[in-house]
A and B are shown apart, each in its own frame.
Chain A
């Protein structure tokens, strides 16, 4: 161990210490040997730590200080919508009547929870312009797969068995093609044109009677609105396919354009992005899916609905694709999203998008002199720069990202989308102030100057972090995936 290493909890462990207080053992204790079949009583103790409560708190406090969150500082990670996570959401989700209810209780004893979910569905239906919403999927990718399974079921029910192809733009999120594969469908890529938008001629070339669906993010991952969305939807619909909306970028169009009005048949949302469920260090998320009327029969079951004054779970769905998750989705995240929507109201949600887009355009314009701007037009909530000018000076986008760490910023998304060289994808969100944006812009400009004048500074960054660049090659070649006692 290096003397600067943060100890693992196992390395803090000392036999004899405890960190728990279990309920009293107030029933007669029998010999456990008699309570389990022979050979099924565990012999070896698991190597779990033995620590006091203060040891635990110090350990995790130390770990938290080695982590950057939105509350620590600016986090312009493109496509991830790292906006402020309101604290009221956290309090509400912890109310006893939400946090401590069981999914298999009688429906009559959870009317408050079902009522909240039903109302959240109604709000999301209005926000997306769809006809029905399921809250069951646990995350965006899970929602994508759910939506594609429904599209597949729809085509199959129509006897349209050769519709097995899903068209995705070359700028799509990696989950799109992966979800298609897991749904038993094949992926075809449609090219982007020089403006960064779907190439309509190429789309016309690839659609056909084998098209199950086109998956599209709008605005796309370059932050650009697909101006020809009406035509795109028409081309796919005329060919008999469905149009799928990847809602990762919904923050760009709240109150400005609804997927349902743009011609989309299915939409998934990432409630942990647009609707402030916190990202949690990589989850839990929530990925509701909205559909147009003709796909309603295929929704995963149960469907939360209302009969008279009562909220019910409807299991009688003969054409349903089935369950995609035990119980009813990531309820706790749905509670947070609902709280957020109710905190914002219609005016607030409109302002969210307006400020998100204003912030992104402001940053884009101010940085355009210093970095290459591959698509020179108004962006939506995010934009991409290319580091190819800096690359010629020997400074890669990765280096720029690492240099940003020295100034306390989380870097933007890098090397994505794949169709932009040395891509830097910046999403400021609406919850950041002008001062924060200006501070970041100034540092980006400084780094661009460093790349010209003193590239080594950038190439060798970061300098101020608790560890430097880590050896990822060895990590993958000789994987150490767990602690083992020396």
Chain B
């Protein structure tokens, strides 16, 4: 059969069969027992030419309402942010995307150095000492932070704020089941973690307390106050954080967080229906040797030239096998590269400017909605998201908005029954004043 990915010719094949000493390719499969041998062809769709397939898939993609054609106010953990055009040019260099894990450092210095730079940038933004090379996503990074905490403290209970992303909490519970850990939710009051309730729940058996900053409702959690309560019981303080917000927010490291996790998707990574994104994992020096996943370290060769290698591998599954505390192997390297390029493009000044623009534009939207008579629930300090109360089901409103080319906010009633008819709106730097004004007007019309 001829196919553009398969270079073998009949002549090659015959020469190779002769070298092997068999008369047909089939003979090479004689070790598959007759009983389980698959005969015939898969019952799947026939191959399509490049042109025909691209056409079909282009049409399939066209059935989706995308964020380029529509105006999105949907966030809830995944955001429509400025994507420097250069990001895609860098990650499209196939020396990066067609390589695998840099096991051979002499010919992988590019990838290794890029990861080293990523680790540095994550440390800088979060205010932590050590960051790994990436995790699958923010949700699994959070779950792994809880696992690390349980292992480190030898305690079996995790407290997680109800204002942490609902899907991350679900992932945490699945992982906790694996490790026979108990997960208890700390109630939310007025849109932030209920500090009084936390005081009632915490004790010396708590491995970690997990909060999100800014939290799922867009509110700024009182990290300073939380830290004191948590560390009094020698529990670990785990903060899940949108790294872009840290351009303007005091980093969790400054408040004494032990582990900071999150997703670097806001930096140059497309929403892509939820993945692949890029989890990050940062810790204090004290926890360095317990970090899951890969770490890149700096060293030198015999001539004193600087080079980078995968290091502290004694932590990892391929060495420790069943003694490993995490099983992660492949991570999200290419997306970490994308995030690095975006963080590099933004740089010291841009990361502040973009975070400030989110703060300002979301504040403008919030004020405009209030001026139009909407009730903002959980009102208070927010970053780029806030909650607005509607008089109709959110799903219904969103269907109407979509007809006007607007992707509305998240339906909080899905996860919080008491928040039926409450919409979580995200307003990033991408939204123009005109788009925000249109949203306010359309919502007003639907609300009437």
5 cross-chain pairs, A with B, having the tightest CB-CB distances, nearest first: A327-B274, A345-B47, A97-B61, A103-B274, A112-B63
Taken together as a complex, chains A and B put the C-alpha atoms of A404 and B422 apart, in Å, by 61
Q: Chain B contacts of A96 at CB under 8 A?
A: 61, 66, 68-69
**A3-40 at interface with B (beta carbon < 8 Å):** 4-6, 8-10, 13, 17-30, 32, 35-37, 39-40
Instruction: Please tell me if the beta carbons of A110 and B64 are within 8 angstroms of each other in the complex.
Output: yes
**A115-162 at interface with B (beta carbon < 8 Å):** 115-116, 122-123, 126-127, 129, 138-142, 144-145, 149, 152
Instruction: Please tell me if the beta carbons of B60 and A97 are within 8 angstroms of each other in the complex.
Output: yes
Taken together as a complex, chains A and B put the C-alpha atoms of A141 and B95 apart, in Å, by 25
Instruction: Please tell me if the beta carbons of B133 and A282 are within 8 angstroms of each other in the complex.
Output: yes
Taken together as a complex, chains A and B put the C-alpha atoms of A99 and B109 apart, in Å, by 29
Instruction: Please tell me if the beta carbons of B344 and A402 are within 8 angstroms of each other in the complex.
Output: no
Q: A64-108, CB under 8 A of B: which get 1 and which 0? A: 111111111001010010111110101111111111111111101
A319 at the interface (CB under 8 A from B): no
Given contacts A42-B249, A325-B136, A467-B305, contact A358 B220 (CB under 8 A): no
A474 to chain B, nearest CB (A): 6
Instruction: Please tell me if the beta carbons of B106 and A138 are within 8 angstroms of each other in the complex.
Output: no
- Choice from B16, B109, B274, B430 contacting A362 with Cβ under 8 Å: B16
- Choice from B134, B173, B346, B432 contacting A26 with Cβ under 8 Å: B432
B42 to chain A, nearest CB (A): 4
Instruction: Please tell me if the beta carbons of B273 and A261 are within 8 angstroms of each other in the complex.
Output: no
Taken together as a complex, chains A and B put the C-alpha atoms of A369 and B311 apart, in Å, by 36
Known contacts A18-B350, A127-B44; 11 additional CB pairs below 8 A are A64-B95, A101-B272, A103-B78, A110-B65, A123-B45, A225-B31, A255-B38, A325-B137, A326-B138, A329-B274, A470-B299
Instruction: Please tell me if the beta carbons of B331 and A115 are within 8 angstroms of each other in the complex.
Output: no
Q: B222-262, CB under 8 A of A: which get 1 and which 0? A: 10100000000000000000000011111100000000000
Q: Chain A contacts of B78 at CB under 8 A?
A: 102-104, 327
A372 at the interface (CB under 8 A from B): no
A439 at the interface (CB under 8 A from B): no
8 contacts between A and B (CB under 8 A): A8-B116, A23-B357, A24-B432, A281-B100, A342-B53, A342-B57, A349-B42, A433-B12
Q: Chain B contacts of A479 at CB under 8 A?
A: 288, 295, 297, 311-312
**B111-161 at interface with A (beta carbon < 8 Å):** 111, 113-114, 116-117, 119-121, 123-125, 129-131, 133-134, 136-140, 147
Instruction: Please tell me if the beta carbons of B19 and A88 are within 8 angstroms of each other in the complex.
Output: no
Taken together as a complex, chains A and B put the C-alpha atoms of A463 and B312 apart, in Å, by 26
Q: Chain B contacts of A83 at CB under 8 A?
A: 5
Instruction: Please tell me if the beta carbons of A342 and B45 are within 8 angstroms of each other in the complex.
Output: yes
A323 at the interface (CB under 8 A from B): yes
Instruction: Please tell me if the beta carbons of A467 and B307 are within 8 angstroms of each other in the complex.
Output: yes
**B339-398 at interface with A (beta carbon < 8 Å):** 341, 343-354, 356-357, 359-361, 363-364, 381, 395, 398
B131 to chain A, nearest CB (A): 7
A400 to chain B, nearest CB (A): 12
B417 at the interface (CB under 8 A from A): no
Taken together as a complex, chains A and B put the C-alpha atoms of A145 and B80 apart, in Å, by 31
**A249-271 at interface with B (beta carbon < 8 Å):** 253, 255-258, 261-263
Q: Chain B contacts of A26 at CB under 8 A?
A: 432-434
Closest to B352 in A: A45
Interface centre among B6, B77, B249, B322 (most CB of A within 10 A): B322
Taken together as a complex, chains A and B put the C-alpha atoms of A60 and B96 apart, in Å, by 10
Q: Chain A contacts of B69 at CB under 8 A?
A: 96
Closest to B118 in A: A482
**A441-468 at interface with B (beta carbon < 8 Å):** 462, 465-468
A9 to chain B, nearest CB (A): 5
Closest to B31 in A: A225
Instruction: Please tell me if the beta carbons of B274 and A326 are within 8 angstroms of each other in the complex.
Output: yes
- Choice from A95, A184, A343, A471 contacting B61 with Cβ under 8 Å: A95
Q: B61-101, CB under 8 A of A: which get 1 and which 0? A: 11111111100101011101010101011101111111111
A480 at the interface (CB under 8 A from B): yes
Instruction: Please tell me if the beta carbons of A256 and B38 are within 8 angstroms of each other in the complex.
Output: yes
Taken together as a complex, chains A and B put the C-alpha atoms of A467 and B68 apart, in Å, by 44
Given contacts A97-B61, A282-B331, contact A70 B344 (CB under 8 A): no
Q: Chain A contacts of B8 at CB under 8 A?
A: 355, 358-359, 430, 433-434
A318 at the interface (CB under 8 A from B): no
Instruction: Please tell me if the beta carbons of B271 and A100 are within 8 angstroms of each other in the complex.
Output: yes
Number of residue pairs A-B, CB distance < 8 angstroms: 703
Given contacts A149-B178, A361-B28, A481-B297, contact A71 B98 (CB under 8 A): yes
Instruction: Please tell me if the beta carbons of B110 and A405 are within 8 angstroms of each other in the complex.
Output: no
B108 at the interface (CB under 8 A from A): yes
Q: Chain A contacts of B381 at CB under 8 A?
A: 35-37, 40
**A309-328 at interface with B (beta carbon < 8 Å):** 321-328
B259 to chain A, nearest CB (A): 15
- Interface locus among A172-180, A198-206, A236-244, A289-297: A172-180
Taken together as a complex, chains A and B put the C-alpha atoms of A59 and B275 apart, in Å, by 27
Q: Chain B contacts of A217 at CB under 8 A?
A: none
- Choice from B38, B45, B106, B330 contacting A272 with Cβ under 8 Å: B330
Given contacts A95-B57, A96-B69, contact A256 B37 (CB under 8 A): yes
- Choice from A25, A111, A116, A325 contacting B357 with Cβ under 8 Å: A25
Taken together as a complex, chains A and B put the C-alpha atoms of A321 and B359 apart, in Å, by 38
B317 at the interface (CB under 8 A from A): yes
Given contacts A56-B344, A88-B54, A115-B63, contact A283 B312 (CB under 8 A): no
B152 to chain A, nearest CB (A): 16
Instruction: Please tell me if the beta carbons of A19 and B318 are within 8 angstroms of each other in the complex.
Output: no
Taken together as a complex, chains A and B put the C-alpha atoms of A46 and B303 apart, in Å, by 33
Closest to A253 in B: B32
Given contacts A138-B137, A261-B38, contact A97 B319 (CB under 8 A): no
**B267-321 at interface with A (beta carbon < 8 Å):** 270-276, 288, 294-309, 311-314, 316-321
Closest to A85 in B: B98
B438 at the interface (CB under 8 A from A): no
Given contacts A20-B346, A51-B347, A281-B101, contact A468 B96 (CB under 8 A): no
Taken together as a complex, chains A and B put the C-alpha atoms of A406 and B134 apart, in Å, by 31
Instruction: Please tell me if the beta carbons of A348 and B47 are within 8 angstroms of each other in the complex.
Output: yes
Q: Chain B contacts of A88 at CB under 8 A?
A: 50, 53-54
Instruction: Please tell me if the beta carbons of A184 and B92 are within 8 angstroms of each other in the complex.
Output: no
Q: Chain B contacts of A394 at CB under 8 A?
A: none
A347 to chain B, nearest CB (A): 5
Instruction: Please tell me if the beta carbons of A178 and B309 are within 8 angstroms of each other in the complex.
Output: no
Instruction: Please tell me if the beta carbons of B347 and A357 are within 8 angstroms of each other in the complex.
Output: no
Q: Chain B contacts of A387 at CB under 8 A?
A: none
Given contacts A67-B109, A86-B5, contact A281 B43 (CB under 8 A): no
B211 to chain A, nearest CB (A): 14
Q: Chain B contacts of A331 at CB under 8 A?
A: 272-276
Instruction: Please tell me if the beta carbons of A466 and B109 are within 8 angstroms of each other in the complex.
Output: yes
B367 to chain A, nearest CB (A): 9
B325 to chain A, nearest CB (A): 8
Q: Chain B contacts of A152 at CB under 8 A?
A: 178
Interface centre among B44, B94, B312 (most CB of A within 10 A): B44
Instruction: Please tell me if the beta carbons of A109 and B41 are within 8 angstroms of each other in the complex.
Output: no
Closest to A184 in B: B178
